[in-house]
Chain A
Amino acid sequence: MTGLRYVYAICRPFRSALQRQLTGVAGSPPKQLTHHGLIAVVSTVPETDFAEEPLRAHLEDMEWLTTTARAHQQVIDALTVVTTPLPLRLATVFRDDSGVRTMIEAREDDFRRVLDRLEGRVEWGVKVYAEPESAQAAGPEEGAEGAEGGRTGGAAVSGRDYLRQRRMRTRAREDVWQKATAFSGRLHETLSAFAEDSRLHAPQSAALSGASGQNILNAAYLVPRAESEEFVELVDREKDDAPGIRVELTGPWAAYSFTGEFAEEPEVEP
């Protein structure tokens, strides 16, 4: 036996079956390991990939990381449909089932406490983007700038004109940015008031996300699943049609962002 145990999540016993074709990170189906009234959702992974050395190497391989992260999330998603999972971080691996049981025993009070708090709740992600370019193109100042620009017959733009143009462009950008920031503040206030809990995350990079615009708000909201539809409608209603502001909703996620009160174990050096 050279299989290790990869743990996706801890949850309480649930009645509904997981999708039959569901596969885990190494292609084998996730199983439930019940201990002390809690369930660890685990799958067997090969030691050749998930022992310390190969795992470390794999984690530096973006292709592998991407595939594994998606497979991990797929299992968490499937669990979120049937229960309230406490999602563990990627690559939580034990030697065997008894190692998983020992871990459950060691942390069971923590698990129960957080599971109680999260029971029946899901996480929704809301991002707000500012897109100054599109707003600037439609902005009223553009015309004025063009008229006053004084670019005649290839003459060099005077220093004063250059500065004015530069200031206007900066101001247009600032305008959109400020509007988007103010809008984000109001939106976050409204959504937080509806949600049971909320977290603000670092904005995702504009230059690299592939999403257009600058990410101003990157927030997560903890919402009872029964109120999720209402939450989605609320986001839809609050969306601003102002040029240059885009709202993006993702979810429902397992309550990843709200496991924070779960005390981290001190890192032990091997």
Chain B
Amino acid sequence: MTTPGRLPQPYGHDSGANLADILERVLDKGVVIAGDIRINLLDIELLTIKLRLVVASVDKAKEMGIDWWEDDPALSTRARRDELARENAELRERLAQLEPARGQEEAS
């Protein structure tokens, strides 16, 4: 038997703003049990919903606060890191161009 302890008031999961949180949990977390009705939710989640949101209904996606493609490894943080990496590469290239020139200057 469980005796519930006192819990603080819920922090808004009834509001529409948290639909992304709800969907994240009920679709992506929780225990997977194969029922009698076999639906591969992963297919629908990652392919169908993803494609529908991207292609057909960006506004809806915004409203829902959800995007499955970002659950893929290509996160926005990574995109940012890529940008940094690209800038770094550009700088190194620039440096490489400058270095030989300076080397010649010093030699002469």
Contact = CB atoms under 8 A, between A and B. Distances in A.
Contacts of B63: 210
A264 B80 CA distance: 34
B80 A92 contact: no
B57 A62 contact: yes
Chain A at the B interface: SS class = mixed
Contacts, number: 203
A72 to B, nearest CB: 5
B2 A228 contact: no
Contact of A202 (B21, B53, B71): B71
Nearest to B38: A270
A259 B35 contact: no
A268 interface: yes
A81 B9 CA distance: 11
Contacts of B53: 62
Interface string A77-99: 10001111011111111110001
Given A13-B1, A268-B38, A125 B23 contact: no
Contacts of B38: 52, 268-270
Interface residues of B, number: 57
B29 to A, nearest CB: 4
A16 interface: yes
Contacts of A203: 70, 75-77
A229 B6 contact: yes
B44 interface: yes
A50 interface: yes
Given A205-B76, A228-B8, A89 B40 contact: no
Contact of B77 (A66, A77, A216): A216
Interface of A: 4, 7, 10-16, 50-52, 55-56, 59-60, 62, 65-66, 69-70, 72-73, 76-77, 81-84, 86-95, 99, 103, 107, 114, 119-120, 122, 125, 177, 201-211, 214-216, 224-226, 228-229, 232, 249-253, 256-257, 259, 262, 264-265, 267-270
24 contacts: A15-B2, A16-B4, A59-B41, A69-B19, A81-B7, A86-B31, A87-B26, A88-B30, A90-B26, A90-B41, A93-B36, A93-B37, A203-B70, A206-B76, A208-B65, A209-B67, A228-B8, A251-B10, A252-B10, A256-B25, A256-B30, A259-B30, A268-B34, A268-B38
